[in-house]
Chains A and B, each alone.
Chain A
Amino acid sequence: MKEKVYILGGAQTDFERNWTKEGKNMIALLREAISDGFKNAGVTYDDVISLNQQNRVACFVGNFIAEKFVDQGHLGAFLTEIDPSFYGVPSARYEAACASSSVAIDAAQAKIQTGDYDMAIVVGWELMKTVNSKIGGDYLGRAAWYEKEGKDIDLPFPKLFGRLADEMLKKYQTDENRMMDALARISVINYSNAKRNPLAQTRKWFMSYEQARNRGTQTNPLVGGKLANSDCSQITDGAAVVILVSERYINQHGIHGKPIIKGYGHRTAPMLFDEKMADNAGSDFILPWTRQAVLDAYNMSGLTVDDINVFETHDCFTSSEYAAISAFGLTAPGKEYEAVESGLIAFDGNKPINPSGGLIGCGHPVGASGSRMLLDLYKQVTGTAGGYQVSNVKNGIMLNIGGSATTNYVFIVGEDN
């Protein structure tokens, strides 16, 4: 029997901030995120020291590509720069492109499940505004097979997810107008949800259905196939911290009401986009391994989509959220537009997706997105999401993907009962 894994709390930085413009480096980012996360979870640096004396605490750092954005590797070791209490604490960096912090969460939960540690501090982060968006877009091309899908291509990822939209149109013979309309509405929902989130990157930005639907204009240029700027998440700086603890820790400290990780799924699809598409021929799903990761998490938790009250998904592009709708089981594959048109996934719908604003609205500092989603599920289940709180949340699910839905990570968080 595996040990239960509790989420004690955490924090994200304000995703509107540009740390380069503030003249601050990753140490500042980590220091703020960790100290805010500790404060939220009621943990002190002295707690780290005393847990570490018994070798009961470890750190798990999620980051995609600091080697490019800030010329730095060996990222697990940098927490020692934040505070001497991290001296001696086991710490390493985990990487799986945009799903980097989900791998970190997975490693962290595993070490608690085995009973090795009582506390696992997960930090996902990325500083991306160190370069312009063209160079940044090129760096991100390394989440695909760079030599074949990224090199010498302007904005490789918008193009890959533009192709995902094209492939869905082809596979399901969906009316193009209807699908592009649904994608525009997905963008508008994420932007409008972000307005309720005081830490969202786009909380002050303007977006409307007319603006999102009108693709190919000066302010909404096409960036990849049929997708325009309004269909994309933006370049973001940020970090998100979550602190996981064992049942032993919860009992020793007399803590109540903290949610647990009820299940997870982790599946890797073929690296190349073309091979992914060839691979889905026998499946109803456009991204069968994404669907499988969701099913794995449902099975492990003993829950179904009916038990899930809130969804945080990886809308790096509107097409990825669109595909996630059926992967979650909210509609049949090919019928995703129904969930958009009926209002099912809207903030006040029965199955709200991305109340935080998601990647498009809240922001996408790639290495932080997985831990940011887990933190948001924690907030939703504990009723501490403030302006973007969904009512009566017992269970929430998150989907975090790396590359062109190559690495697929799903976690389900719910009340401990």
Chain B
Amino acid sequence: MIIKIVTVIGATGTMGANVAGIFASFGNAKVYMVGRDIEKVKRTIPKTVKSVRADSIAENLIPADFSMLEDCVKESDLVFESVTENIEIKRSIALRVGAVLKKDAISCTGSSGLSVTELAECYPEELRGNFFGIHMFNPPYSMSLCEFIATKYSRPELQEDLKAYLHNVLYRTVVEVKDSPAFLGNRIGFQFINEALQYAEKYKDNGGIDYIDAILGQFTGRSMPPLVTSDFVGLDVHKAIVENVLKNAPDYEQTTFVFPVFAQKLVAEGKLGRKSNGGLYRTIKDDNCFKRSAVYDIASGSYRDKMDYVFPFAENMKKNIRVGNYKKALEILVGNLSQEAEICMHFLLSYIVYSLYSADKIGYGVEAADDVMATGFNWCPPLALIEGIASVTDVKALVDERLDRKLLEQIDIDRLFSEVKPSKYDYRLYFKSGC
């Protein structure tokens, strides 16, 4: 597949700007960057250049606005739509693109969870087969995940060629998933994150948000604690993802997708997270301009300084991870029966089971869950986590012992575990000794 000219629609957004960089660098394509305001697009180009650390791509980036959309699309071998997550807006763009797209050109959406099939249907019949979902993660230069979504209309030869292009030319970790709400990575990731948010509410008298993050920090196999991730992504985006799954694809874990009341309130007040300086966390500058990290205290409804929690199981795990003794660290986790260690174990085991279940349902093979969580979230992927825990104890037996039996009865847990394979990822590098 030869892609020489690309149009990115919605190029001033974070994803649009960064994806334009991927096409222009690895793909060496000429990229029309289309935004509402061409001056803003021009100001975005240096960010795109910086995102792949290569001035040499600047000449590949051409600013444009929506009045020029048709002219750009007509020339393009590939069109990538990355506008706001609103189905009506995306439909209106699909209609415009479909009217002028070359007959062998690719069109795709970067949507993180809307129906790709529904958008394909906005295209003239003869072009529906050219439409795909290509969901990348932020920032794509360091996160290589690319969820790939075909529809019943997709032209099989284009589908294979496009996947090969994404993998061989753009160096993406291509994971084909079904056209299901939130796709695979966000579904697994936000099940975990949202349940953590629910637990923060449940344990608000223990500290709430920072209490739960202290239990599920870097030492449990991730680059940042789950509620810091939510704060980073934004509570509005978080809310949209879990509500989409809950409404359109409820499953045995559906109660964990309910967005908590306190968080609804934060969203209503515009307290979304890092992007609005204030969400679950907030950085406070004191009179001397020193920055302090504060957290939203659910119990009191106000911000307070973050606390330094000391849990014996966590301290011991970190101490062992620091010297690379992962087996010992996991032994401590499994063997410690404090409330905090049990919460931690509950989350890790639920994550394993939900990953196996979701990969079975939405992916094509159990490895899909590993690829999405390692390369999209930087979390210890589920199969690798199974390997880690298996060095200490029988994982399936631990699941039977620790997780809610009634919940497990709703899924075919024995079959899911029988399909577990060795991971191609190394669990050791995900367990960090930090908070």
- Name which of A164-172, A217-225, A299-307, A393-401 contacts chain B: A217-225
Cα A210 to Cα B57 with chains together (Å)? 9
B433 at the interface (CB under 8 A from A): yes
B411 at the interface (CB under 8 A from A): no
A32-B324 in contact given A21-B432, A22-B433, A219-B49 (Cβ < 8 Å): yes
Cα A217 to Cα B433 with chains together (Å)? 38
A195-B171 in contact given A24-B433, A32-B324, A206-B26 (Cβ < 8 Å): yes
| Contact partners of B52 in chain A: CB under 8 A | 206
B428 adjacent to A32 (CB under 8 Å): yes
B335 at the interface (CB under 8 A from A): no
| Contact partners of A220 in chain B: CB under 8 A | 54-56
Contact-residue bracket for chain B? 20 to 34
A14-B429 in contact given A204-B171, A208-B28, A211-B55 (Cβ < 8 Å): yes
Smallest distance from the beta carbon of B17 to chain A beta carbons, Å? 15
B429 adjacent to A23 (CB under 8 Å): no
Of all chain A residues, the one with the shortest Cβ separation from B28 is A208
Cα A301 to Cα B25 with chains together (Å)? 45
| Contact partners of B432 in chain A: CB under 8 A | 21-24
A31 at the interface (CB under 8 A from B): yes
A17 adjacent to B323 (CB under 8 Å): no
| Contact partners of B321 in chain A: CB under 8 A | 23-24, 28
A31 adjacent to B324 (CB under 8 Å): yes
Cα A23 to Cα B428 with chains together (Å)? 12
Smallest distance from the beta carbon of A20 to chain B beta carbons, Å? 10
A27 at the interface (CB under 8 A from B): yes
Q: Which of B142, B322, B324 has the most CB of A within 10 A?
A: B324
Cα A24 to Cα B55 with chains together (Å)? 35
Cα A134 to Cα B433 with chains together (Å)? 26
A23 adjacent to B433 (CB under 8 Å): yes
Q: Which of A17, A195, A211 has the most CB of B within 10 A?
A: A211
Smallest distance from the beta carbon of A235 to chain B beta carbons, Å? 15
Q: Which of B100-155 contact A (CB under 8 A)?
A: 141-142, 144
A23 adjacent to B54 (CB under 8 Å): no
Cα A403 to Cα B171 with chains together (Å)? 35
B318 adjacent to A208 (CB under 8 Å): no
Of all chain A residues, the one with the shortest Cβ separation from B375 is A204
Q: Which of A167-224 contact B (CB under 8 A)?
A: 195, 204-208, 210-211, 214, 217-220
| Contact partners of B28 in chain A: CB under 8 A | 208
Q: Mark B36-70, 1 if CB is under 8 A from A, else 0.
A: 00000000000001101111110000000000000
Task: Pick the residue among B56, B428, B429, B433 that contacts A211 (CB under 8 A).
Answer: B56
Q: Mark B304-327, 1 if CB is under 8 A from A, else 0.
A: 000000000000001001111100
A23 adjacent to B322 (CB under 8 Å): yes
Cα A29 to Cα B322 with chains together (Å)? 10
Cα A210 to Cα B25 with chains together (Å)? 10
Smallest distance from the beta carbon of A80 to chain B beta carbons, Å? 13
Smallest distance from the beta carbon of A190 to chain B beta carbons, Å? 16
Q: Which of B404-435 contact A (CB under 8 A)?
A: 426, 428-429, 432-434
A40 at the interface (CB under 8 A from B): no
Contact-residue bracket for chain A? 20 to 34
A23-B218 in contact given A195-B171, A211-B55, A217-B55 (Cβ < 8 Å): yes
| Contact partners of B26 in chain A: CB under 8 A | 206
Cα A27 to Cα B428 with chains together (Å)? 14
| Contact partners of B142 in chain A: CB under 8 A | 204
A210 adjacent to B56 (CB under 8 Å): yes
B25 adjacent to A214 (CB under 8 Å): no
| Contact partners of B428 in chain A: CB under 8 A | 32
Of all chain B residues, the one with the shortest Cβ separation from A213 is B56
A208 adjacent to B56 (CB under 8 Å): yes
| Contact partners of B50 in chain A: CB under 8 A | 219
B25 adjacent to A206 (CB under 8 Å): yes
Task: Pick the residue among B141, B144, B322 that contacts A25 (CB under 8 A).
Answer: B322
Q: Which of A11-59 contact B (CB under 8 A)?
A: 14, 17, 21-25, 27-32
| Contact partners of A27 in chain B: CB under 8 A | 322-324
Smallest distance from the beta carbon of A196 to chain B beta carbons, Å? 11
Cα A207 to Cα B26 with chains together (Å)? 8
| Contact partners of B57 in chain A: CB under 8 A | 211
A81 at the interface (CB under 8 A from B): yes
Cα A416 to Cα B333 with chains together (Å)? 48
Cα A220 to Cα B321 with chains together (Å)? 37
Cα A207 to Cα B432 with chains together (Å)? 30
B322 adjacent to A204 (CB under 8 Å): no
B433 adjacent to A219 (CB under 8 Å): no
A24-B324 in contact given A204-B142, A204-B171, A208-B28 (Cβ < 8 Å): yes
Q: Mark A218-243, 1 if CB is under 8 A from B, else 0.
A: 11100000000000000000000000
Smallest distance from the beta carbon of B30 to chain A beta carbons, Å? 13
Cα A38 to Cα B254 with chains together (Å)? 46
| Contact partners of A214 in chain B: CB under 8 A | 55-56
Smallest distance from the beta carbon of A192 to chain B beta carbons, Å? 11
| Contact partners of A17 in chain B: CB under 8 A | 429
A24 adjacent to B322 (CB under 8 Å): yes
A23 adjacent to B318 (CB under 8 Å): yes
| Contact partners of A211 in chain B: CB under 8 A | 54-57
Smallest distance from the beta carbon of B11 to chain A beta carbons, Å? 19
A29-B55 in contact given A14-B426, A21-B432, A204-B171 (Cβ < 8 Å): no
Of all chain A residues, the one with the shortest Cβ separation from B26 is A206
B25 adjacent to A208 (CB under 8 Å): yes
A31-B323 in contact given A204-B141, A204-B142 (Cβ < 8 Å): yes
Of all chain B residues, the one with the shortest Cβ separation from A28 is B324
| Contact partners of B434 in chain A: CB under 8 A | 22-23
| Contact partners of A29 in chain B: CB under 8 A | 324
Return 5 A-B CB contacts under 8 Å, by A number: A24-B321, A30-B324, A32-B324, A208-B56, A214-B55
17 further contact pairs, Cβ within 8 A, besides A22-B434, A210-B56: A23-B321, A23-B322, A24-B321, A24-B324, A24-B433, A25-B323, A27-B322, A28-B323, A31-B323, A81-B323, A205-B53, A206-B53, A206-B54, A207-B54, A208-B56, A219-B49, A219-B50
Closest 6 CB pairs of A and B: A28-B324, A23-B433, A210-B56, A31-B324, A211-B56, A217-B55
